[in-house]
């Protein structure tokens, strides 16, 4: 089996609603798999630029970069390609400045706002839930 390395970028998009902070999650399938928006970094694209592009596409939101949160790494196998992937994902914090989550792209069935304290509890991947917790720390 061949091994390849992939680099992706994405992050946490937040908004303030009164005293609460909400984050945008993307979901697909039934039962629903909830995740952070992210995607592959294109050739000659900086990770922060790729993250901004991907979160905008997958959430339907316009965003402003706040800062870097953290990187995660993991392995997965694509049996259709008979390939094992080592993936690194760069995560950034973004403030939503406009747009509408109803305008998310085709890659996910839904995008929804969750209170930042509740989001890690519904998220499907523990490593991404930790990224949301770090984002909360950054926001104070």
Give per-10-residue mean pLDDT for the chain (140 aa): 95 97 97 96 97 97 98 94 95 98 92 98 97 97
Residue with tokens 């085709």: 106
Could you give the CA distance from residue 77 to residue 55 in angstroms, rounded to a whole number? Answer: 24
Residue with tokens 């697909």: 28
Element (H, E) at 13: strand 2-17
CATH of the domain at 58: 3.90.79.10
If one counts the domains in the chain, the total is 1
The DSSP letter of residue 100 is -
List the domain range (segments joined by +) for residue 91.
2-139
What pLDDT score does 120 carry?
98
82 neighbors 2 (Cβ within 8 angstroms): yes
What pLDDT score does 57 carry?
96
- Could you tell me the CA-to-CA distances from 27 to 14, 33, 80, 84, 107 in Å, in that order? 16, 5, 23, 24, 9
- The pTM assigned to this predicted structure is 0.93
């Amino acid at each position: 089996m061949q091994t390849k390395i992939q680099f992706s970028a994405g992050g946490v998009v937040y908004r303030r609603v009164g005293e609460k902070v909400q984050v945008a999650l993307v979901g697909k399938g039934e039962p629903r798999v909830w995740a952070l928006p992210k995607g592959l970094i294109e050739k000659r694209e900086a990770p922060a630029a790729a993250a901004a592009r991907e979160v905008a596409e997958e959430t339907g939101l316009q965003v402003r970069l706040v800062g870097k949160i953290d990187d995660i790494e993991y392995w997965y196998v694509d049996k259709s390609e008979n390939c094992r992937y080592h993936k690194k994902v760069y995560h950034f914090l973004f403030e939503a400045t406009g747009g509408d989550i109803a305008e998310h792209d085709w890659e996910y069935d839904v995008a929804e706002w969750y209170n930042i304290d509740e989001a890690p509890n519904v998220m499907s991947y523990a490593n991404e839930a930790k990224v949301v917790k770090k984002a909360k720390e950054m926001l104070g």
